[in-house]
Chain A
């Protein structure tokens, strides 16, 4: 994953930080992070986010935001194909982006996975998006009661929790890469509640 371009290329490159900084996607940004999502970084980002949102961390929106953010970030930590060793542990890398609009927040997370992981996630997301609150609740219960599969690090409940807390259906996009890999991104919208 390391670029071997020469220093000359670096100084002459077209990657203009200001155009990234001021692009449509970033103008409302309250948090952006790309890199290794170690537990330490995850905790700092989650707390920073919660503190940024309001002076009152008890607000409903803040709690939901915290929760969705942690689930998205832990998914990257566990399942990203782009992995590095940090303090003896293998950690996934990815990108997270939180934007604020007048009546809602958006959370976007992205990372690289095998194509087949995308396909199974797509199926899960489609299923969850069709469920109403009651169905999501009983589906979650069923998953909590289910025995874990060998080597399963998560609970399979993370996406259900995101679906229950989000204000709109979960968005999932895919960009095909080489070698059976895909860049996937989750789009979550959270309305402000007062």
Chain B
């Protein structure tokens, strides 16, 4: 299956889903005009990956800011991964946050706390929020 790459912008994440390395990376700001529309190909890719590749999957997420509709879309992604894990798949989600960025750390905790797959929070040094 094909890999999925979406270039980042000031208000949308850089997305890099790779079916050969089994690594899905999302990075940047997320407050798109239409979040559902932005996240749709991501969900479709994951569904297809689970169907066709079915290997242990790592997801790395490094955000600076996400709006409320993006939070909902992340919940959709994690629900897909949760189901994959419960059906015998293997998933680990790494949620990166900058030192002192309680907002992003908490956003991750609230999304991930009940998930059946493995997840970890990784602190990284501060960078400048708007140079992303």
Give the size range of A's interface with the partner. Answer: 20 to 34
Q: With A70-B31, A155-B68 as known contacts, state yes or no: A137 contacts B126, CB within 8 Å.
A: no
Interface size class of B (residues with CB under 8 A): 20 to 34
The reply to whether B68 and A71 form a contact with Cβ atoms under 8 Å apart is yes
Residue A83 CB within 8 A of the other chain:
no
- 1/0 contact string of A155-178 vs chain B (CB within 8 Å): 101101100000000000000000
B33 within 8 A of A: yes
Cβ contacts A136-170/B at 8 Å (1 or 0 each): 01001101110010000111011011000000000
Residue B65 lies at the interface, judged by CB distance under 8 Å to chain A:
yes
Cα distance A50–B98 when bound, in Å?
A: 17
Q: In the complex the two chains form, is A63's CB within 8 Å of B75's CB?
A: no
Chain A nearest Cβ from B131, distance in angstroms: 9
In the complex, how many residue pairs between chain A and chain B have their CB atoms under 8 Å apart?
74
Q: Which of A58, A64, A137, A143 contacts B100 (CB 8 A)?
A: A58
Tell me the bound Cα distance from A89 to B37 in angstroms: 14
For A39, give the chain B residue with the smallest CB separation.
B33
- A144–B72 contact, CB under 8 A? yes
Q: How distant is the Cα of A46 from the Cα of B72 in the complex, in angstroms?
A: 21
Residues from chain A with Cβ under 8 Å of B98 in the complex: 58
The dominant DSSP class at the A interface is: helix
A154 and B68 in contact (CB under 8 A), knowing A39-B33, A47-B130, A137-B110?
yes
CB distance from A23 to the nearest CB of B (A): 31
Give Cα A141–Cα B68 distance, bound, in whole angstroms.
Answer: 12
CA distance A71 to B68 in the complex (A): 7
Closest to B9 in A: A43
User: A56-81: contact bitstring with B at CB < 8 Å (1 yes, 0 no)?
Assistant: 01101001101100110010010000
* Inter-chain contact A63/B68, CB cutoff 8 Å: no
A145 touches B34 (CB 8 A): no
How distant is the Cα of A89 from the Cα of B35 in the complex, in angstroms? 15
Known: A67-B103, A144-B72. A153 touches B34 (CB 8 A): yes
Beyond A63-B103, A67-B103, 5 extra complex contacts between A and B, CB < 8 Å: A60-B102, A145-B75, A155-B35, A155-B68, A157-B69
CB pairs A–B below 8 angstroms (11 shown): A58-B101, A58-B126, A63-B103, A63-B129, A70-B31, A70-B67, A71-B68, A74-B33, A89-B33, A144-B71, A161-B71
8 interchain residue pairs of minimum CB distance: A155-B72, A157-B68, A39-B33, A57-B129, A158-B68, A155-B69, A144-B75, A161-B68
Tell me the A residues contacting B by CB distance below 8 Å: 39, 43, 46-47, 50-51, 57-58, 60, 63-64, 66-67, 70-71, 74, 77, 89, 137, 140-141, 143-145, 148, 153-155, 157-158, 160-161
